[in-house]
């Protein structure tokens, strides 16, 4: 059973989830008593173990297929490292938030570990049924978490909305998968790719059963686009992010999105390699619509949490730009896939940080409105400074990770001569600056001398500091991350038939 | 043992960043922050003076270069160096930064720590742009410079500061993202981010469409910063709302970044596109000169007036650069020889003159407009208004202030004997030979400049009878109640006199400064001449 070692991150998370669950059932702290932060600490420990296991797989020599359905490669490991880091930071920061609002600690952290497990499987899956199951697993646990604050109507709404949209998206995706199975007789991405390559042959013309791939790609894009909150499948996102508990919104807008992009990348780059000329323009159109819609909607928000929700829709548009410009022929330094990975890495730390600031203010003054941020520089100078770093990173200003992310995806677009796509991205960067700066303006430009200093919990501060350091580190010295990134994308691209 | 010359630029560049961090970490009292900042800023100033003397003009080219690995995956490195074009501008940056810090120590009493932190950060970013010889490095510094200025306008600015700050940020951001796309284009065409190597590789040579796209990408980035007509609309707002030192740095150095970029990047990298679009640059420059001057005449706010005068004066820079751009290729030079019936040498001399005029104007405008914005700040601290209709007859009340304003204003309109004259002379002398009609059109601006300087500033503010009912409330610079306008005090004089002295010195004997600029102008012309 040599394969077990290769799925160590998943096994650790599964054991962790079950352990927390059993502990919750077996150990009753008594009526009215809260179990404190011990469940959170336990979850963070399991996540850290999974992180270490994923880090060890970062320099795996050859892609390894474990149990025939999971491909363990550098690409998946890099995404897993990114996702687990985000989940750990969220867990540490969000422990107190959840502890104060809900009595069902064990339940929450069980789901939290299960969500991580689901993402981890989705990232590695090379079989479409496993992809579907992982995505469903991720969705169902996420519905639970989004609606976790049962007393809170907004949280209920968040969970329900996510559930209703999500079920339809899954059904649509499943239909797409069945089309592909019908056309090629296989559910494995590599076999599908090989089958289509054979059908299309050297003629480079789509004929016969290959036509089935076109609707199938659109249907699967709809299902995954829902997870990645691409326009026009993003309508659930603002309400869900806004209503769900902030730690849940944090991972929904970061880790969960990273997982969705990893699946998208694997599906299109590996499975649909023969149809690149067909899907690249479609993805380009989605990219443009997504970033434009997200930005325009974000402009009008006065609630910072909601603004970040729309902003994360817009950011998905930029990330998609990298996927459009993937060069499957000969990977170069500025390949689109590198752009996707670097962007995801930088974006994860940045956006987790931004949501944690929202959480800090929600904890302190119980408001997410922009007015709560007035004069924050006086009340919590370091919080304001760190939020500024995150907002500048989201805008794409050096020396933050967000800058190099944008640099790479714009670069990839220019390299593939998508000048119009890059130009629209450029205009969008200008629009986006406006709403990010509004928050900075509120924090810095006015100050009230009477204001009291804010109390920010130590755990939250630690998480924020790590996010800030990571964001600036990628912005100042991206070289270290770039090595992982390019190894990861080279390994994904080499399996393309 | 490496010679100290090999690290002098790195020390010069990073010292302001160190100073900024020291302010944040150890700035325990306002007094310590202010004094420490002023002393700290003397090091870059001293090093920039050292560079002026240590640079070997005869040898020319890039000197004091330093190269280190940064992002090997992209072939982007830490590459910095100086030549005749950047050395005087680095000196200007260091000088105005020191003076601004010194002046600010006297007038800024709110949120002192943040203010001085941002001022050091600003100096760091500006020095970085002038030093960088790598596109990624250049762009990084270019963008960082936005952030401190945004905060300076937004926190210490006037009533409408929020609007002005965001307008400044977004306008320049849109321009710079366009530049980013052009940088990426150059990278894929040449495979390097090194500015010097990329220019030598001549990206998009022979493909005028792509070269023009890249040219305009860069142009948008630079034109927003210069600002060139019609991209100038952010400037009056930003200047009017910015605190005094912010305006000084903005006009004195930040606007120069754009013109510097045109000279450093656009002309050598895209000679064909430069020739093709040169008449556009010249036209935009000439229109800016005339339009800016006319708008100045209509202003009622003294600071806004000087802001628009910057639009007009930066037009000279564009005019000079555009005129020189007309002969960037051998073909264009040959056709100019035919058209004007002059020798190739004479045409090239005119181009060198236009380039020298543009560079001189960059430097002199920094000194002169810097001084003018300081002077506006000095009167504003006392009157708390800048409405021109409320002033009058200040000459008798504030003779020292009057004298300095007179000098700076005359330098601004180009009076012979003061610094501004030579820049205008060189620019127009060069441009007349290459683009006679647009240059002639531009001269209208000189006349109008005299109108707004003499009539709006000198006559309106200083001459005539002093009427105490016009503006009853005056304070001293410390904010105490005063009976009427009080003259400049010690720290204001110390701030002003170096700039005034520079105006006289460069007005009487500009040769040393021209030597630096001429060296790099000749190098640029030789570079494009030697391209096959």
Q: What is the pLDDT of residues A198-224, one digit of tens each?
A: 888 776 677 777 888 889 999 999 999
- With vertex at residue B118, the alpha carbon angle to CA A311 and CA A312, rounded to the nearest 5 degrees, is 5
B173/A430 Cβ within 8 A: yes
Q: Which of these ranges, A10-14, A325-329, B465-469, has the smallest mean pLDDT? A: A325-329
Residues with Cβ within 8 Å of residue A338, at least 6 apart in sequence: A322, A331, A408, A412, A482, A485, A486, A489
Q: Does residue B22 carry a pLDDT above 50?
A: yes
CA-to-CA dists, residue A452 to A357, A388, A455, angstroms: 17, 20, 9
Please determine, for residue A33, whether its predicted confidence score (pLDDT) is greater than 80. Answer: no
Residue-wise pLDDT for B62-115, tens only, equals 889 899 999 888 888 899 999 999 999 999 999 999 999 999 998 888 889 999
Residue B49 has pLDDT above 80, yes or no: yes
Q: Is the pLDDT assigned to residue A1 strictly greater than 60? A: no
CB atoms within 10 A of CB A108: 27
Mean pLDDT of chain B: 91
Model pLDDT, residue B207: 87
| CB-side neighbour CA atoms (13 Å) of A200 | 20
Q: Pairing relation of β-strands A64-66 and B474-475? A: unpaired
Given a contact cutoff of 8 angstroms between Cβ atoms, the answer to whether B81 and B65 are in contact is yes
Tell me how far apart the alpha carbons of residues A115 and A138 are, in angstroms, rounded to a whole number.
5
A69 near A127, Cβ under 8 Å? Answer: yes
Return the DSSP state at A37. T
HSE-CB of A141 using CA atoms within 13 angstroms: 23
Q: A interface mutation test: which of B118, B124, B172, B180 has the most A CBs within 10 A? A: B180
On the CB side of B146, how many CA atoms lie within 13 Å of its CA? 30
Q: CA nearest B182 in A: which residue?
A: A414
Instruction: Compute the nearest-CA separation of A483 from chain B (Å).
Output: 8
Burial class (CB in 10 A: 0-12, 13-18, 19+), A21: middle
Q: A204 to chain B nearest CA, in Å?
A: 28
Put simply, whether A490 touches B (Cβ < 8 Å) is: no
d(CA B217, CA A89): 40
Contact B169 A479 (CB under 8 A): no
Alpha helix segments (H runs only) across B226-301: 234-241, 244-249, 255-261, 267-269, 271-297
What is the reported pLDDT for B1?
45
* A206 lies within 8 A of chain B by CB: no
**What's the pLDDT score for residue B89?**
95
Interface test with A, best of B70, B139, B169 (most A CBs within 10 A): B169
Mean pLDDT for the stretch of residues A192-201: 85
User: Given a cut of 50, is residue A485 above it in pLDDT?
Assistant: yes
Looking at residue A331, what is its pLDDT?
Answer: 59
pLDDT digits (tens, 9 = 90+) for A87-103: 999 999 998 888 888 77
> pLDDT value at position A495?
65
Bridge partner residues of A127 (DSSP): A188
Chain A positions in Cβ-Cβ contact with residue B170 (cut-off 8 Å):
430, 433-434, 437
| Cβ-based contacts of B150 with chain A (< 8 Å) | 437
Q: Are A51 and A85 in contact (CB under 8 A)?
A: yes
Instruction: Determine, for residues A441 and B165 on separate chains, whether the beta-carbon distance falls below 8 Å.
Output: yes
Does ipTM come in above 0.85?
yes
pLDDT digits (tens, 9 = 90+) for A217-248: 999 999 999 988 898 888 888 899 989 999 99
From chain A, the residues in CB contact with B75 under 8 A are 333
Q: What is the pLDDT of residue A496?
A: 57
Q: What are phi and psi of A208, to 5 degrees?
A: 55, -130
pLDDT 10s digits, B375-428: 999 999 988 888 888 888 888 889 999 999 999 999 999 899 999 999 999 999
> Phi-psi region for residue B329, left (φ > 0), alpha (ψ -120 to 50) or beta?
beta
Q: Is A60 an interface residue toward B (CB < 8 Å)? A: no
CB contact under 8 A, A334 and B74: yes
Coil vs helix vs strand at B70: strand
Give residue A213's pLDDT: 87
Mean pLDDT rounded to a whole number for chain A? 89
B173-197 pLDDT, tens per residue?
999 999 999 999 999 888 889 999 8
Query: Crossing angle for the helix pair B399-413 and B490-508, nearest 10 degrees?
Result: 30
pLDDT at position A27 over 80: no
Residue pLDDT, tens place only, A253-311: 999 999 999 999 999 988 888 888 888 899 999 999 999 999 999 999 999 999 999 99
pLDDT value at A413 more than 80: yes
Indicate which of A405, A411, A487 best probes the interface with B, i.e. most B CBs within 10 Å of its own CB. A411
Q: What is the DSSP letter of B456?
A: I
Contact B74 A333 (CB under 8 A): yes
Best mutation target among A439, A440, A481, A487 (most B Cβ atoms within 10 Å) is A440
C-alpha neighbours within 13 Å on the C-beta side of residue B290: 12
On whether any CB of chain A is under 8 Å from the CB of B144, the answer is yes
Contact B143 A398 (CB under 8 A): yes
Token readout for B342 is 């002059």
**Predicted local distance difference test score (pLDDT) of residue A117:** 96
Instruction: For residue A318, name the pLDDT band (cuts at 50, 70, 90).
Output: very high
The structural domains of chain B, with segments of one domain joined by +, span 270-487
DSSP summary character for residue A454: P
Contacts of B492 (CB under 8 A, 6+ apart): B103, B106, B374, B378, B477
What is residue B98's predicted lDDT score, i.e. its pLDDT? Answer: 95
Nearest CA in chain B to A446: B155
User: Are A259 and A123 a contacting pair, CB within 8 Å?
Assistant: yes
Q: State how far the Cα of B10 lies from the Cα of A396, in Å rounded to an integer.
A: 26
Q: Give how far A423 is from chain B: nearest CA, Å.
A: 8
pLDDT of residue A365: 87
| pLDDT tier at A30, thresholds 50, 70, 90 | low
Task: Spell out which residues of chain B touch residue A377, defining contact as CB-CB under 8 Å.
Answer: 114
pLDDT above 70 (res A29): no
A423 contacts B151? CB cut-off 8 A: no
A480 and B CB contact within 8 Å: no
Contact B150 A333 (CB under 8 A): no
Joined together, the tokens standing for residue A82 give: 């990114």
* pLDDT, position A471: 95
pLDDT of residue A437: 93
User: Dihedral, CA atoms, A94, A100, A102, A104, nearest 10 degrees?
Assistant: 80
% of chain B at pLDDT higher than 70: 99
The answer to whether B185 touches B217, Cβ cutoff 8 Å, is yes
Cα–Cα dist B91/B517, whole Å: 13
DSSP-assigned states of every residue in B171-213: HHHHHHHHHHHHHHHHHHHHS--BHHHHHHH-TTTT-HHHHHH
B210 in contact with A at a CB cutoff of 8 Å? no
Q: How many CB atoms lie within 10 A of CB A445?
A: 21
Please check whether residue B351 is in contact with residue B327, taking contact to mean a CB–CB distance below 8 angstroms.
yes
Residue A16: per-residue pLDDT = 94
Decide if A394 contacts A319 (C-beta within 8 A).
no
Rounded-to-integer distance, Cα A168 and Cα A136, Å: 11
User: Per-residue confidence at B530, pLDDT binned at 50, 70, 90?
Assistant: confident
Q: For residues A247 and A112, give the distance between their C-alpha atoms in angstroms, rounded to a whole number.
A: 10
Q: What is the mean pLDDT of residues A125-130?
A: 93
Q: CB count, 10 Å around CB of B115? A: 28
Q: What is the pLDDT of residue B411?
A: 94
Residue A171 touches partner B, C-beta closer than 8 Å: no
Chain A residues within an 8 Å CB radius of B162:
441, 445
């Amino acid at each position: 059973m040599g394969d077990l070692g290769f799925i160590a991150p998943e096994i650790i998370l599964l054991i962790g989830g079950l352990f927390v669950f059993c502990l919750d059932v077996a150990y009753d702290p008594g009526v009215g008593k809260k179990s404190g932060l011990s469940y959170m600490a336990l979850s963070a420990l399991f996540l850290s173990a999974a992180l270490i296991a994923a880090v060890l797989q970062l320099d795996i020599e050859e892609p390894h297929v474990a149990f025939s359905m999971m491909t363990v490669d550098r690409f998946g490991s890099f995404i897993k490292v990114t996702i687990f880091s985000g989940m750990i930071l969220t867990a540490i920061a969000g422990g107190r938030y959840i502890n104060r609002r809900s009595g069902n600690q064990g339940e929450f952290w069980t789901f939290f570990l299960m969500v991580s497990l689901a993402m981890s499987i989705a990232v590695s899956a090379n079989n479409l049924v496993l992809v579907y199951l992982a995505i469903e697993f991720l969705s169902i646990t996420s519905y639970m978490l989004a609606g976790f604050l049962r007393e809170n109507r907004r949280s209920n709404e968040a969970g329900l909305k996510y559930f209703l949209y999500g079920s339809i998206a899954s059904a649509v995706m499943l239909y797409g998968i069945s089309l592909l199975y019908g056309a090629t007789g296989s559910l494995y991405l590599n076999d599908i790719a090989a089958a289509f390559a054979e059908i299309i042959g050297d003629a480079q013309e789509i004929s016969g059963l290959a036509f089935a791939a076109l609707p199938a790609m659109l249907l699967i894009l709809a299902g995954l686009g829902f997870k990645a909150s691409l326009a026009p499948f993003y309508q659930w996102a603002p309400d869900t992010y806004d209503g769900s508990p902030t730690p849940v919104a944090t991972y929904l807008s970061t880790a969960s999105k990273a997982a969705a992009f990893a699946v998208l990348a694997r599906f299109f780059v590996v499975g649909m390699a023969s149809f690149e000329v067909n899907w690249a323009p479609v993805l380009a159109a989605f990219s443009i619509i997504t970033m434009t819609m997200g930005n325009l909607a974000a402009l009008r928000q006065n609630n910072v949490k909601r603004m970040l929700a729309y902003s994360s829709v817009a950011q998905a548009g930029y990330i998609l730009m990298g996927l459009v410009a993937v060069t499957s022929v000969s990977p170069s330094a500025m390949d689109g896939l590198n752009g996707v990975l670097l962007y995801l890495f930088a974006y994860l730390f940045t956006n987790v940080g931004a949501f944690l600031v929202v959480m800090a203010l929600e904890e302190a003054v119980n408001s997410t409105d922009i007015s709560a941020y007035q004069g924050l520089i006086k009340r919590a100078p370091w919080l304001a400074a760190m939020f500024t770093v995150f907002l500048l990173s989201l805008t794409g200003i050096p020396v933050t990770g967000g800058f190099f992310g944008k640099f790479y995806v714009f670069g990839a677009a220019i390299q593939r001569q998508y000048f119009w796509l890059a130009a629209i991205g450029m205009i969008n960067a200008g629009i986006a600056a406006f709403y990010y700066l509004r928050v900075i303006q509120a924090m810095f430009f006015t100050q009230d001398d009477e204001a009291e200093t804010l109390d920010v919990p130590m755990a939250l501060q630690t998480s924020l500091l790590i996010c800030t350091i990571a964001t600036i580190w990628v912005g100042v010295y991206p070289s270290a991350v770039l090595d992982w990134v390019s190894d990861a994308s080279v390994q994904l691209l080499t399996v393309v038939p | 043992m490496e010679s100290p010359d090999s690290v002098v630029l790195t020390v010069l560049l990073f010292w302001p960043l160190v100073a900024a961090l020291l302010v944040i970490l150890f700035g325990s009292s306002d007094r310590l922050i202010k004094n420490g900042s002023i002393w700290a800023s003397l090091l870059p100033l001293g090093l920039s003076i050292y560079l002026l003397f240590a640079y070997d003009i005869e040898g020319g080219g890039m000197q004091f270069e330093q190269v280190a690995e940064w992002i090997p995956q992209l072939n982007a490195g830490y590459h910095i160096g100086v030549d005749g074009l950047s050395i005087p501008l680095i000196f200007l940056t260091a000088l105005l930064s020191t003076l601004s810090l010194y002046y600010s120590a006297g007038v800024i009493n709110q949120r002192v720590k943040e203010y001085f932190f941002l001022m050091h950060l600003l100096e760091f970013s500006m020095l970085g742009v002038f030093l960088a010889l790598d596109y990624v490095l250049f762009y990084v510094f270019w963008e960082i410079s936005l952030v401190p200025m945004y905060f300076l306008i937004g926190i210490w600015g006037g009533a409408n500061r929020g609007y002005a700050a965001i307008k400044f940020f977004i306008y320049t951001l849109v321009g710079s993202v366009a530049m980013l796309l052009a940088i990426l284009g150059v990278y894929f065409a040449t495979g390097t981010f090194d500015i010097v190597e990329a220019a030598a590789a001549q990206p998009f040579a022979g493909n005028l469409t792509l070269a023009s796209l890249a040219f305009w990408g860069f142009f948008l980035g630079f034109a927003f910063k210069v600002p060139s007509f019609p991209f100038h609309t952010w400037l009056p707002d930003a200047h009017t709302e910015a605190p005094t030192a912010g305006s000084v740095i903005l006009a004195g150095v930040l606007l120069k970044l754009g013109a510097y970029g045109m000279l450093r990047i656009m002309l050598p990298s895209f000679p064909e596109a430069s020739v093709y679009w040169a008449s556009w640059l010249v036209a935009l420059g000439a229109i800016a000169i005339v339009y800016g001057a006319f708008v100045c005449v209509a202003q009622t706010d003294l600071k806004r007036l000087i802001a628009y005068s910057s639009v007009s004066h930066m037009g000279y820079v564009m005019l000079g650069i555009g005129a020189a751009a007309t002969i960037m290729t051998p073909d264009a030079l040959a056709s100019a020889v035919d058209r004007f019936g002059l020798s190739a040498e004479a045409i090239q001399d005119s181009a060198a003159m236009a380039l020298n005029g543009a560079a001189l104007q960059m430097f002199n405008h920094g000194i002169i407009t810097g001084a003018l914005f300081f002077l506006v700040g000095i009167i504003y601290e006392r009157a708390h208004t800048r409405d021109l209709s409320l002033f009058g007859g200040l000459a008798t009340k504030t003779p020292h202030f009057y004298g300095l304003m007179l000098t700076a204003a005359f330098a601004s309109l180009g009076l012979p004997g003061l610094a501004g004259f030579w820049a205008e002379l060189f620019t127009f002398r060069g441009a007349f030979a290459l683009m006679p009609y647009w240059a002639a059109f531009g001269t209208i601006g000189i006349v109008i400049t005299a109108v707004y300087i003499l009539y709006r500033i000198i006559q309106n503010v200083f001459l005539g009878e002093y009427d105490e009912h016009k503006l009853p409330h005056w304070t001293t610079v410390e904010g105490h109640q005063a009976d009427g306008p009080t003259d400049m005090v010690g720290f204001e004089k110390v701030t002003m006199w170096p700039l005034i002295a520079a105006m006289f010195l460069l007005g009487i004997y500009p040769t040393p400064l021209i030597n630096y600029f001429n060296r790099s102008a000749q190098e640029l012309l030789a570079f494009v001449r030697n391209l096959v």
